[in-house]
Every structure is written in structure tokens, then in C-alpha cells.
């Protein structure tokens, strides 16, 4: 393990290089050799970096025909990349968005999951794997990395080598395995905002050469970054606990069994989205934010989000726990290795949100607690021959989820959500005192109790063959056969403040009772073909053609309503995505292999793209799913690493991503075109931002950007070290810098002038002293120039024009001490 650390630090350092075990070296998720349960361990062999492939042979990563970025444990620690969200600063092609752990999405090259509130009825296009176990909840990506050895981000479809289908890519997390030599690690970090993080792990033999144990734990706490004047508390804090135990048994030289159990918990007061700005919509002016706020003599605590103040009046909670157990068996059998991975995972989610984003009692309860269990079984056999290598596998997965949600309106809801009629200019009062909008009792206490259930079953057979046509040419076909079945139930019972289930039209327009049972099932065959050719000793070219498939889905967040306020049942399911992917890459080394430059160009077309959309109904707080006709993403990626000496290493990675809805003619309209009376046939919709105007029933957003994707993104940095001796310890002092940049991106499913997030650059600094394999002490500053930026923006339901957001972390600083023994 120590040789791995030294090799990774020297060769990868702070770089994100393009390398993985796939095809020529299958990823850790495909199979693993008995000598190293996690595979893909890098080592230095002269001037080359070697991966131990899943087919039990060593390969230079420059010979592996796929685009993958690898981040080792040292880089994770040095850059403060404590979870997948922070990893995006090192990975230009990775995007991660989260307004709370449940409402999170990981995308690669702009693809993976719809942007917006999570809908449990669809699959993630980016798979998250921890020690070869698929995690269906993207919430797993919000937890702190625990005893992690390295993280691989595989870009592009990976379905022919991974158990669960992944059409956009995979995040493969590998933890440290048990050791047959006693070893231990401890780490303590402290910083401003009362930040404290402690990590520890210990490993050693229980029975020499037969049984080994590894235990690890971590604890993180940090004060919140936003002050809530209503509760006199800092919110959006960190409060994380992680525990992991791993038992390794090697009954024979050919067989090893790895039993893993883990438990992770978060219990922060989170997650506040706060006032950013307002924009004019087509709702009547007296029903937009300024007039509504004036009617209650209300003003936001601050109109500058970077004052980091809010007055939210609904309790905030983001409690979640996730964990489970897995058993992995690896058996050297014939020319290859047979691998079995059995796993059970659970996820419990206990939230409370303020979904009106104000200090007014509009929506007083918004909570959707959820419990999930998943079970998976994977069998693989990976073999190597003189001319042919292959991997074949079977995968079975079942998920059972139950959500019991509640939403309740408050005393201000009637005036805020209902139409008070025309009013005199400059007046915020009701024109007709008898209007429902002027009667707080109409919506006060209106409550929806939701019971939501989901069962998912997925079965697959997959495989990949590598044919060594010659010493320089390799052909690699892959195939996947997939079956998916989903069944769900959505029941929403709505009662008035007096407990009655008899609702008037205004009440049904805000919270509509619904009951439906969507179902989906389908078979699919997909595959890929890769050709790679060694142009010279230090140049390899490859090309990939892939036809992928992302399972269809069911809507489990409620359906849009028709003109009679009845759910539109035809929207209960969405069609599968059909993915055509093309990629060409070059992997090169020069300057006597002191420099590495890898390039990848890609073009991905998706038909029936699964998008999260909203409608114009006033009380709708959650989106639903729909299919966009066609989406295209194409671009170029580059990874450069230069190590002119042992003292200096530099890196730069960049991505240009051109992305658009090629055809989406019936999309939801952006806020500036929403909220007015729906234009009828023959009527011309009003110009954007016309109060009281006519809004189109839907909008053609063909040619517009996809949400959440920057056209330009980059990471860059390096480290310089000098030999030094402190208190008799011979080591090195060092200074490092890491930077990232991303250009403007859209933060709304349909691009809006109000919700574009401006581009920004972040810089992290560190300096310290270390003795290799013994200890490391360093100070760090993250967001060193205190850049003010937003992670995500959103709009308030009902076309009021209110835009809210999540400000990124301010400048943080502190120190970390690590020790190994």
C-alpha cells in the first residue's frame, strides 16, 4: 500500500490523468484480482504508470482505450475533496448539484440525471460504485469519503462492464483493503467556521496470512454558512459520522472472501435556499413578489445573498443515514477469476424544508421522509489469453422504497397563491373582499398527506471481448441484455383546515388529491465497439461506437392537472432514453515520458431524453418527468501532466462541451413567459416579462442549452517541494495550488434570463512539511480569493418572480495533521 501511495503521489500528484481499467484493463467495478481486491492500483515502473487490470495482468494506463480521471488519496486530502461535490473542482467533465441530499444529481459531460427536484421513478445515468457495489441513491455521493484509496471517474457509457447500466459514466470509489501487516492512520483537521474533522483507521492480521481486519471511522462538524434570524441559528451546517469495517479471509491461495459493513449518518440543520433577486413574469403585477410582500408588510432580511442572511420560518432538517453489508468472493479458476458480489444497502431520509423560501407562513410544512432497501447480486468471470481476453457477467437488482410525505399551507397562502382580482395601481389590497384570496381560512391548514411506493427490479447479462489482432491493433466488442420492471403507487389525500376532504376549485388548484399506480417494463439490447491502435511506442489512438439505453421511468412526484384539475394519467410514465455515442481519443507521452497529454473527442445523441419539467399551476412545488425529443452533447477534453523533476509536478485539465436540446417543442416555459392567462388559438403570447399578459401553453426550447452544463470548464495546479529536516526528521517542505474554472451555465430546466449562473474561478492553496509514510502537517486555504458564486439557482413556485439560490462556500482556512504507523 505504501508503494501505491508513493507512486500515486509522484505520478498523479495533483493531476487528474486519463486512465482506467476498462477493456485493456477493466474497471474495478468489473472484476478484481485475488492479490488486490480493489484492482486499479497504480505503481511506478521506471517512467510508466501501471494499472493492475481486472484480468490479472499489468498494463500501462496509456494503453487503456477509455477516458477516465483518477484521483488518489493524497490529492483528495490536499484539495479538501471530502465528497463527490467537492470533486467537481478537480474534474472538469463532472457536474454535481444538490439543494439537499435527496435532491442531488451527478452528471458527466452534462448527462446522467434530469436537473431539478429528484423524481424517484427514474434511474441515474451516472452509477456510483463503492467497492464494486452499486448505490442507487445519489445521496450516497453527499457523504464524506471514508478510508478511500482512490476515486475513478469514467466518462461515457460503461454498461458492458458494469452490473448496473450506466449510460453517462460511473464514479468508482475504492476503499483501502485489510492488510496482513499491522498499520494505522489518523488525521485531524481544524479550521474557521468551527470546522473539525477527525479520521482514523487501523488494520492488521487476526490469523497470519488467513484473516485480516480493517476498521475506519470519521467525524465532521462545521458551523453553518447562513444565519437564520428567525431561529437565531446558523444553518447549512455539516454534521457527519462514518463507520466501516472490513474482514478479509483467504482460506486458500486461490480464494478470498471480503465481508464489509458500513454505517453513515448526517444530521445537519440544512438546507436553506435564500433570496437572490426578482424577475418580472407574466403573472398580474399585484400577484408578483413585490406586491405580495407589500401586502404583508414583508421584506427579505437581505437582498444580497452574500450577506448570508435568511428568515425562514419552517424548521430545516436534512437527516439521513445510509449503510449496509456486502460479501465479495474472488476465486482463481482456470485461466481467469470468478467474482461474486452480494450486497444489501439501506437509506433513511428525514427532511424538513421551507419551500416558499420566505419568512412568511405560506407553505408551513414540506417534508417527504423516505426509507429504501436495495439488494444486488453480481457474478463475473474475467479471463486472459494469448489472443483473446474477456469479461462476462450476470447482474440482479431489486429496490423497495416507501415515502410518506406531507405538505401544508399556512395563513398567508391564500393571498400569496390565489387571484385577488384586479386592483388599483399601486395597491396591494384585494379588489373584491369576498374573493378567496382575501380569506386566509381558504388555504390555511390545507394539507396533503402522500403515500408513495416504488418497486424496481433489474436483470442483466453483459460481456466484453478483446481480440489482439496484432501487437499494435486490438478490437473490443461489448454487449448487454437488460430487463427493467418498475411499479409504483402515488396516493395523495388532501384535507382542508377543518379536516374536510371536500375541496373547492381554488383548493384543488393548490393541492390536488391524486391516486394512480404507474407501471413500466421493457427489454433492451445495447452494446459498444472499440478499436485501439499503437501508433508508436508513446502514442495510442482509439475509437468507440456505443448504442446505449436508459430505462424508462414512472412519475412519483404527482402529475400535472388538466383544465378540470384532474391528474393527466398519460404523464404517469416516461419512455426510455436511447443513446448513440461516438468517441475518439489519443494518449501520448513525450519529453522522455516526463509529459503526458491525453485527448478525447465525443459526440452523444439522445432520443427521448428524460427531463424534469414544471407546469404553470400555482401550488405545484414539485416537477414531473417528460421526454424531450432529442438532445445532443459533443465536445473535446484534454488532460496534461508534466513532471520535469522530482521537485515539481504540474497539471491542467480542460473540457469544452457543446450542449443543446436539438428538439423540444412542448417544453415548460421559463419564468418570464409564465404566470399569465394561457393564450388560446389565434392569440399571440405576450412579450417576456409582461405583467398580466398571455403565456404560451408550452414553449419550443429547441436549440437552447441543457441545464447545469458549462461550455468551458478547467482544473489546473501543481506542487513544488524542497528537501528539509525539521527536529531531526528528514522530509520535504512543499507548496501547492489548485484552481478550477467553469463558464456560465443555466440553472433552470428551460433556460431563463433570471437563473443563469455566471462563470467563476476558485483557487485553493496549501503549504506544509511531510515525511513520507510517517506524517504530514500542512495549512490550507480554500476559495483563497473569497469568490462569491452560486452553486445553483431556482425559482419560487407560482411565477411570483422570486429567484433563490445556494451561495457557494466563502473562504475557509485551517490546518491538517496526518500520521501513519
Q: Which residue has the higher pLDDT, 529 or 160?
A: 529
User: pLDDT digits over 428-444, tens only?
Assistant: 566 566 678 889 999 99
Averaged pLDDT for residues 786-793 = 96
Range of the domain at 491: 2-410+445-820
Averaged pLDDT for residues 750-772 = 95
Same domain flag for 204 and 286: yes
Q: What is the pLDDT of residue 625?
A: 77
**HEC letters along 655-669:** EEEEEEEEECCCECC
Please give the Cα distance from 452 to 400 (Å, whole number). 11
Same domain flag for 225 and 320: yes
For the chain, the residue count is 821
Q: What is the pLDDT of residue 97?
A: 86
Q: Answer whether 17's CB lies under 8 Å from 641's CB.
A: yes
CA dist list (Å): 447 to 359, 380, 406, 435: 19, 50, 7, 21
Please give the Cα distance from 790 to 755 (Å, whole number). 10
Q: Among the residues of 404-549, which ranges form H helices?
A: 413-417, 505-510
Three-state DSSP class for 594?
A: coil
Q: What is the pLDDT of residue 102?
A: 85
What are the strands of the beta sheet with 233-235, ordered from one edge?
233-235, 226-228, 309-310
Same domain flag for 398 and 424: no
Averaged pLDDT for residues 281-296 = 93
User: pLDDT digits over 557-596, tens only?
Assistant: 888 777 676 778 888 888 999 999 999 999 999 999 999 9
Can you read off the three cell numbers belonging to residue 188?
485531524
Which segments within 646-728 are labelled E, that is strand?
648-663, 677-678, 694-695, 712-726
Same domain flag for 806 and 661: yes
Kindly state the DSSP code that residue 159 receives in the 8-state scheme.
T
Same domain flag for 486 and 580: yes
Q: What is the pLDDT of residue 83?
A: 85
User: pLDDT digits over 13-24, tens only?
Assistant: 323 333 333 333
Which candidate, 151, 153, 126, places its Cα nearest to that of 137? 126
Please give the Cα distance from 735 to 719 (Å, whole number). 6
Sorted by sequence, the CB contacts under 8 Å of residue 690 that are 6+ apart come out as: 280, 282, 676
Sorted by sequence, the CB contacts under 8 Å of residue 681 that are 6+ apart come out as: none
Model confidence at 126: pLDDT above 50: yes
Please state, as a whole number, how many other Cβ atoms lie within 10 Å of the Cβ of residue 578.
18
Model confidence at 776: pLDDT above 60: yes
Please state, as a whole number, how many other Cβ atoms lie within 10 Å of the Cβ of residue 208.
8
Model confidence at 37: pLDDT above 50: no
Query: Is residue 487 exposed (0-12), middle (13-18) or buried (19+ Cβ within 10 Å)?
Result: middle
Q: What is the pLDDT of residue 701?
A: 93
Three-state DSSP class for 648?
A: strand
Which candidate, 579, 599, 576, 711, places its Cα nearest to that of 110? 711
Q: Answer whether 73's CB lies under 8 Å from 114's CB.
A: no
Model confidence at 470: pLDDT above 80: yes
Three-state DSSP class for 749?
A: coil
Q: Which residue has the higher pLDDT, 634 or 64?
A: 634
Which candidate, 87, 112, 95, places its Cα nearest to that of 168? 112
Which candidate, 229, 295, 221, 281, places its Cα nearest to that of 670? 281
- What CATH number did the domain enclosing 455 receive? 2.40.170.20
The percentage of residues in the chain with a pLDDT greater than 90, rounded to a whole number, is 67
Same domain flag for 370 and 433: no
Three-state DSSP class for 66?
A: coil
Which candidate, 771, 684, 680, places its Cα nearest to that of 725? 771
Q: pLDDT band for position 697 (50/70/90)?
A: confident
Q: Kindly give the pairing relationship between strand 336-352 and strand 595-613.
A: unpaired
Which candidate, 271, 221, 262, places its Cα nearest to that of 243? 262
Can you read off the three cell numbers belonging to residue 29?
467495478
Same domain flag for 423 and 472: no
Q: Answer whether 740's CB lies under 8 Å from 714's CB.
A: yes
Same domain flag for 474 and 528: yes
Same domain flag for 459 and 583: yes
Q: What is the pLDDT of residue 673?
A: 93
Residue 291, H or E segment: helix 289-295
CA dist list (Å): 393 to 57, 62, 810: 19, 26, 46
Same domain flag for 492 and 532: yes
User: pLDDT digits over 584-637, tens only?
Assistant: 999 999 999 999 999 999 999 999 998 876 654 433 334 677 889 999 999 999
Q: What is the pLDDT of residue 432?
A: 63
Rg (alpha carbons) of the chain, rounded to whole number: 27
State the total domains in the chain. Answer: 2
The percentage of residues in the chain with a pLDDT greater than 70, rounded to a whole number, is 89
Same domain flag for 333 and 377: yes
Please give the Cα distance from 807 to 542 (Å, whole number). 41
761 DSSP β-pair partners: 741
User: pLDDT digits over 540-552, tens only?
Assistant: 999 999 998 899 9
Cis, peptide link before residue 12, omega less than 30° from 0: no
Please give the Cα distance from 720 to 736 (Å, whole number). 6
Same domain flag for 354 and 421: no
Model confidence at 80: pLDDT above 50: yes
Q: What is the model's pTM?
A: 0.88
Q: What is the pLDDT of residue 338?
A: 95
Q: Answer whether 776's CB lies under 8 Å from 815's CB.
A: no
Please give the Cα distance from 40 to 68 (Å, whole number). 12
The average confidence (pLDDT) of the chain is 87
Q: Answer whether 754's CB lies under 8 Å from 619's CB.
A: no
Amino acid at each position: 500500500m505504501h508503494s501505491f501511495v508513493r507512486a500515486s503521489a509522484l505520478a498523479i500528484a495533483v493531476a487528474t490523468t486519463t486512465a482506467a481499467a476498462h477493456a485493456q484493463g477493466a474497471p474495478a467495478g468489473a472484476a478484481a484480482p485475488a492479490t488486490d481486491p480493489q484492482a486499479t492500483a497504480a505503481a511506478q515502473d521506471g517512467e510508466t504508470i501501471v494499472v493492475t487490470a481486472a484480468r490479472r495482468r499489468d498494463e500501462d494506463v496509456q494503453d487503456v482505450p477509455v477516458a477516465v480521471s483518477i484521483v488518489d488519496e493524497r490529492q483528495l486530502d490536499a484539495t479538501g475533496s471530502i465528497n463527490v461535490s467537492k470533486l467537481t473542482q478537480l474534474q472538469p467533465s463532472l457536474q454535481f448539484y444538490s439543494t439537499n441530499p435527496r435532491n442531488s444529481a451527478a452528471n458527466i459531460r452534462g448527462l446522467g440525471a434530469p436537473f431539478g427536484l429528484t423524481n424517484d421513478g427514474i434511474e441515474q445515468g451516472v452509477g456510483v460504485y463503492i467497492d464494486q457495489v452499486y448505490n442507487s441513491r445519489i445521496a450516497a455521493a453527499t457523504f464524506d469519503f471514508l478510508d478511500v484509496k482512490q476515486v475513478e471517474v469514467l466518462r461515457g457509457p460503461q454498461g458492458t462492464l458494469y452490473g448496473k447500466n450506466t449510460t453517462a459514466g460511473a464514479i468508482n470509489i475504492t476503499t483501502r483493503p485489510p492488510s496482513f501487516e499491522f498499520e494505522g492512520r489518523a488525521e485531524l483537521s481544524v479550521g474557521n467556521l468551527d470546522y473539525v474533522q477527525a479520521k482514523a483507521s487501523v488494520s492488521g492480521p487476526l490469523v497470519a496470512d488467513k484473516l485480516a481486519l480493517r476498521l475506519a471511522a470519521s467525524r465532521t462538524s462545521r458551523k453553518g454558512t447562513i444565519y437564520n434570524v428567525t431561529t437565531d441559528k446558523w444553518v447549512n451546517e455539516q454534521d457527519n459520522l462514518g463507520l466501516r469495517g472490513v474482514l478479509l479471509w483467504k482460506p486458500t491461495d486461490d480464494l478470498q472472501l471480503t465481508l464489509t459493513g458500513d454505517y453513515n449518518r448526517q444530521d445537519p440543520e440544512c438546507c436553506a435556499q435564500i433570496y437572490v433577486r426578482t424577475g418580472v413574469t407574466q403573472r398580474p403585477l399585484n400577484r408578483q413578489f413585490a406586491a405580495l410582500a407589500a401586502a404583508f408588510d414583508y421584506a427579505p432580511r437581505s437582498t444580497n445573498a452574500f450577506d448570508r442572511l435568511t428568515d425562514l420560518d419552517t424548521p430545516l432538517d436534512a437527516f439521513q443515514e445510509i449503510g449496509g453489508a456486502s460479501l465479495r468472493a474472488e476465486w482463481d479458476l482456470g485461466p481467469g477469476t470468478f467474482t461474486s458480489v452480494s450486497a444489501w444497502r439501506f437509506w433513511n431520509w428525514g427532511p424538513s424544508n421551507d419551500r416558499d423560501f420566505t419568512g412568511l407562513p405560506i407553505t408551513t410544512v414540506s417534508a417527504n421522509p423516505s426509507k429504501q432497501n436495495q439488494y444486488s447480486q453480481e457474478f463475473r468471470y474475467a479471463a486472459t489469453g494469448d489472443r483473446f481476453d474477456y469479461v462476462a457477467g450476470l447482474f440482479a437488482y431489486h429496490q423497495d422504497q416507501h415515502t410518506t410525505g406531507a405538505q401544508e399551507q399556512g395563513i398567508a397562502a391564500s393571498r400569496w397563491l390565489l387571484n385577488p382580482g384586479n386592483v388599483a395601481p399601486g395597491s396591494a389590497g384585494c379588489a373584491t373582499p369576498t374573493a378567496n384570496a382575501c380569506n386566509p381560512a381558504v388555504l390555511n391548514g390545507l394539507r396533503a398527506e402522500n403515500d408513495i411506493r416504488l418497486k424496481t427490479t433489474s436483470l442483466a447479462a453483459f460481456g466484453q471481448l478483446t481480440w489482439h489482432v496484432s501487437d499494435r491493433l486490438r478490437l473490443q466488442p461489448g454487449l448487454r441484455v437488460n430487463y427493467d420492471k418498475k411499479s409504483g403507487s402515488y396516493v395523495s389525500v388532501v384535507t382542508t383546515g377543518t379536516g374536510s376532504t371536500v375541496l373547492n376549485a381554488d383548493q384543488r388548484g393548490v393541492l390536488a388529491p391524486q391516486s394512480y399506480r404507474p407501471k413500466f417494463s421493457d427489454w433492451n439490447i445495447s452494446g459498444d465497439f472499440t478499436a485501439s491502435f499503437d501508433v508508436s511506442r508513446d502514442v495510442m489512438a482509439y475509437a468507440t461506437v456505443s448504442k446505449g439505453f436508459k430505462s424508462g421511468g414512472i412519475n412519483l412526484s404527482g402529475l400535472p392537472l388538466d383544465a378540470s384539475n384532474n391528474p393527466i394519467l398519460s404523464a404517469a410514465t416516461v419512455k426510455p432514453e436511447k443513446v448513440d455515442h461516438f468517441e475518439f481519443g489519443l494518449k501520448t507521452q513525450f519529453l522522455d515520458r516526463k509529459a503526458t497529454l491525453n485527448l478525447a473527442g465525443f459526440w452523444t445523441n439522445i432520443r427521448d431524453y428524460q427531463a424534469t419539467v414544471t407546469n404553470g399551476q400555482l401550488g405545484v412545488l414539485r416537477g414531473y418527468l417528460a421526454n424531450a425529443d432529442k438532445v445532443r452533447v459533443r465536445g473535446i477534453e484534454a488532460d496534461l501532466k508534466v513532471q520535469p523533476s522530482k521537485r515539481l509536478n504540474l497539471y491542467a485539465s480542460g473540457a469544452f462541451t457543446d450542449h443543446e436540446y436539438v428538439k423540444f417543442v412542448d417544453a415548460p416555459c421559463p419564468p418570464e413567459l409564465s404566470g399569465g392567462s394561457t393564450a388560446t388559438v389565434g392569440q399571440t403570447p405576450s412579450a417576456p416579462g409582461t405583467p398580466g399578459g398571455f403565456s404560451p401553453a408550452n414553449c419550443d426550447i429547441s436549440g437552447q442549452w441543457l441545464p447545469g452544463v458549462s461550455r468551458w470548464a478547467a482544473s489546473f495546479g501543481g506542487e513544488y517541494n524542497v528537501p528539509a529536516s525539521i527536529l531531526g526528521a528528514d522530509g520535504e517542505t512543499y507548496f501547492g495550488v489548485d484552481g478550477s474554472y467553469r463558464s456560465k451555465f443555466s440553472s433552470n430546466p428551460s433556460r431563463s434570463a433570471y437563473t443563469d449562473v455566471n462563470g467563476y474561478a476558485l483557487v485553493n492553496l496549501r503549504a506544509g512539511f511531510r515525511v513520507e509514510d510517517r506524517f504530514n502537517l500542512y495549512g490550507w486555504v480554500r476559495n483563497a480569493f473569497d469568490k462569491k458564486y452560486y452553486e445553483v439557482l431556482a425559482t419560487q413556485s407560482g411565477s411570483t418572480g422570486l429567484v433563490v439560490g445556494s451561495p457557494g462556500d466563502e473562504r475557509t482556512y485551517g490546518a491538517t495533521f496526518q500520521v501513519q504507523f
